[in-house]
Amino acid sequence: MDKMKVSYEVLLGLAAEMLLDEAVLKFRTDKLYAAIDTALASGDKDTFQRLTDELKSLHV
């Protein structure tokens, strides 16, 4: 029974880690989209390029 409890705890830990990773990814993506919009509105081509490259690297 202890072995099953350990397995369950490991799976629960992995699920929590995956949930946290997904939340961080969504937060960072949302921040990048907002910054990209700002760069577009101000006509800052270099910042736009840098931010879109960073966004692409998040989803590889």
Tens of pLDDT, residues 5-60:
889 999 999 999 999 999 999 999 999 999 999 999 999 999 999 999 999 999 87
Query: What angle is formed at CA 31 by the lines to CA 34 and CA 18, rounded to 5 degrees?
Result: 145
Asked if residue 2 is part of any domain, the answer here is no
Asked if residue 59 is part of any domain, the answer here is yes
The rounded distance, in Å, linking the Cα atoms of 15 and 37 is 33
Asked if residue 58 is part of any domain, the answer here is yes
Asked if residue 32 is part of any domain, the answer here is yes
Asked if residue 27 is part of any domain, the answer here is yes
Total number of domains in the chain: 1
The rounded distance, in Å, linking the Cα atoms of 15 and 9 is 10
Asked if residue 49 is part of any domain, the answer here is yes
Asked if residue 53 is part of any domain, the answer here is yes
Structure tokens at 58: 């998040």
pTM: 0.79
Single-letter amino acid, residue 2 = D
User: What range defines the domain where residue 45 resides?
Assistant: 22-60
